[in-house]
Amino acid sequence: MTTVMLDLPTTFLKEYSFQIVISIVFISAVSLTIFISLAIYKWNTRHISKLAEAMRVIGAGDFGHKIALNTKGMIVTLVREINDMSENIDNKFKKLQTISYNLFSSIELNAALKTSLDAILELTGGTVGLIMLVNDDETRLDFAMAEGIKPKIVGDDIFIRHGRFAVQLSNDFREWIKNPANNRIFSVEDLNNIPAATHIMEWLNAAGCDFFAPLLLKDQLKGFFLYSCELRGSVNFLNTLFYQITMAIENARLYHLAVTDGLTGLYNHGYFQMRLKQEFQRVHRYGTQFSLMMFDIDHFKKFNDTHGHQIGDMILREVAKILKYQSREVDIASRYGGEEMAVILPETDINGAAKLAERIRLIVERYRFSHNLKITVSIGLSYCNSKAPADKETLIKHADIALYRAKAEGRNRVCAASNE
């Protein structure tokens, strides 16, 4: 009995000590768990805060922003994906900025058309593209610009790879294309079962293209874009892109109408004077040179009196067509007034101008005009460099004197003025 009473406190103390140890271990484990959890929470919170701040910066428009985190695990994958997304957006945004700037800085119609076509081919990686514009009453198509194919124009007909384009637009087609639901990009597969789009299928097949986009502006049909490779992106992005292209082309077209002579298609007198002034400024600033060609249709009044003004207008149009075809892209061919036309020849000396003038004179002489009429032209040339003449009025006067001399010497010839 005495032995039992002496052993109880010892057993109790051992059990109590064991419980204390267990409690201490448990409390330590819980404390360590809480500490680790708090550390992980703070670590994650810090990185998540950095991610949130980076997304705020990117969302504000800084698409070139990069996230830099010294960490591992799944969060690294998330950071990499965000950085890649930001870089892709930044590249596309910069490309669209360049395209937009080029589009709206191209005030010349041909430049706007070329910029638009280049933009689509660059975005798609394609090699074939075609732009067709419609006339003011939306009944007829006219060829505007192409890349990768060479349309041939014969009279009012347009041929591509021996396929003939239908240039007249039907009422059914105009109603169909102006439906807001159809203001989008179409593939060949989309158009197969659309009766109103038969013409489009003909154009696509002839041009070797697979995609078609209408150019619409304020419910008015301006033209069509045909291209070979798919242009990817959201519907809003694609619609915005083609709307910008349409606006740029329309602005350039309106400007072209303002500076173009309605009868001949040459630049008008006002535009000629403006460009002549600019060439003079370039000469005196950079020490360049240029020549001026002025020519007159021989006995034009006689043709008008004998055959009527309609025949006279026809002669003016056909001579202007020869002039435009023979001129370089940088030359400024203009209708100066009446039957008199003028061409500014940048970076061209008097000998180069004389060769071009003689070629034009010879082509006109040999050309078979309507009603079997024989036409000749007299041409006067003048030349400008940094030494002479002093102003553009004197340059025009020199060319006029040379033109009068060509007429006085028997017409159908080229005469050059001296700068002396």
Tell me, yes or no, if 420 is annotated catalytic. no
d(CA 283, CA 385): 6
SS3 content of the chain, % helix, strand, coil (to 5): 55, 20, 25
- The answer to whether 148 and 228 have CB atoms below 8 angstroms apart is yes
Cα–Cα nearest to 118, from 127, 109, 107: 127
Each residue of 110-128: b (16+ CB within 10 Å) or e? eebbbbbbebbbebbebeb
Q: Rounded to 5 degrees, what angle do the CA atoms 194, 162, 224 make? A: 45
DSSP characters for 173-203?
HHHHHTSGGG-S-EEHHHHTT-GGGHHHHHH
Among 246, 196, 252, residue whose Cα is nearest residue 224: 246
CA distance 98 to 322: 36
Q: Region of 155 please: left (phi>0), alpha (psi -120 to 50) or beta.
A: left
Residues 6+ apart with CB under 8 A from 249: 109, 112, 113, 116, 131, 133, 215, 222, 223
Of 62, 101, 110, 54, which is closest to residue 82 (Cα–Cα)?
54
3-class DSSP string for 274-324: HHHHHHHHHHHHHCCCEEEEEEEECCHHHHHHHHCHHHHHHHHHHHHHHHH
Distance, in Å, from the CA atom of 110 to the CA atom of 107, rounded to the nearest integer, reads 9
Cβ neighbours around 162 below 10 Å, total: 7
Amino acid residing at 177: I
Say how far apart CA 240 and CA 412 lie, in whole Å: 54
Give whole-number Cα distances, 16 to 10, 202, 384, in Å. Answer: 10, 98, 115
Which among 147, 250, 318, 339 is annotated as catalytic? 339
Which residues are the active-site residues? 339
